[in-house]
Structure 1
């Protein structure tokens, strides 16, 4: 309750942001619709109801935003609480999506580490399928990416999480797929002259 996250990182230095104006507007009721029609001619009544409706819209938007923080896929300012609970170092410079992936991967990595758990963790970070080639004699395993060419995105965060969840006595390597020469030999110069060598490697 009195930890750094609740009082140092979130509530004081990172206050809950105000809801987006368009969201507030969409959740603002028309209170005049609930009153007798003759009151529409009253400026006092219409202004009063407009103020009250605006406050109700703000409350509704804040309530919806608070509910979003309860789910990893929609959490924003409360991601710091998810990270704190799972022992993940908070980096506010990272995009929300990267931080959400880290939280989901860490949750999946809780408990006994299995082959399927590692596959699921890799998928959550890179959106790429992977095959695990085990080498028990030398205490290593290879993560071979399939269905994707080149190096997948978000590898730095994946490596950090894998180091956290894998058994300490095991090491691992990655295997990536690139285009072979025969595959691109049939291309014409005009079809590939606008690209780069890096692009051809994953053609």
Structure 2
């Protein structure tokens, strides 16, 4: 409900009739400004939280020194900021998993101490994630420089396609079949 509607309910009807055009105009302009102020306050409150920030994202990105590699939308940029805010815990497998969880990925961290490598294995995403550039940039900030970072991706295996007929798969390309299953 707008502020003007609230004013109309509080004032007598004779106060806002046609003979009082000036008063009605004044109340309408005040109500418009109050509504605009209310909207600005609500928008400002949204910017205080990473999950709902829009125009404040560059401020958060500057705070965490985030440089965008991929052309990211707002959701991906929020994920970057959220990951950086969660990442101050060091390079433990739990903290890396937590950071990648903010992107919506379920991962497993494989450490090879003798080979000085860390492998990030995706558990629930088929193919290469579209924001891999951002993930690589982010992980190079967390993982110590003496460790090599490797990525392990999941693709569709032949045994998963055995239950589908050629007719079900013919509308899909080879690349599509690598990253998604046909609909039965």
- The question of whether the paired residues in 2 share the 8 Å contact of 1:128 and 1:148 is answered with yes
Deviation at 1:37, TM superposition (A): 2.0
1:177 aligns with 2:154: yes
What whole-Å deviation, never above 9, does each CA across 1:108-137 have from its counterpart, x for those lacking one?
Answer: 111422111101112222x12111111000
Q: What TM-score does the superposition give when structure 1 sets the normalisation length?
A: 0.79
Q: Which runs of 5+ in 1 are unaligned?
A: 1-25
1:194 Cα deviation after fit: 1.0
Match of 1:39? 15
CA contact (8 A) 1:113 1:166 kept: yes
- For 1:64, the equivalent position in structure 2 comes to 42
- For structure 2, the 5+ residue unaligned runs are none
TM value normalised by structure 2? 0.87
Inter-partner Cα distance in structure 2 for 1:27 and 1:103: 35
Corresponding residue of 2:73: 95
Q: Is contact 1:79–1:99 with CA below 8 Å preserved after alignment?
A: yes
Q: 1:28 to 1:171 in 2, by over 3 A?
A: farther
Greater Cα shift, 139-148 or 37-46: 37-46
Residue 53 of structure 1 corresponds to which residue in structure 2? 31
- Contact 1:143–1:175 (Cα < 8 Å) also in 2: yes
- After superposition, the CA RMSD in angstroms is 1.8
Task: Name 1:112's counterpart in structure 2.
Answer: 90
Alignment length, in residue pairs? Answer: 176
Cα gap change, 1:152 to 1:94, in 2 (>3 Å): closer
How many angstroms apart in 1 are the aligned matches of 2:98 and 2:45? 26
Partner Cα distance (1:80, 1:90) in 2? 10
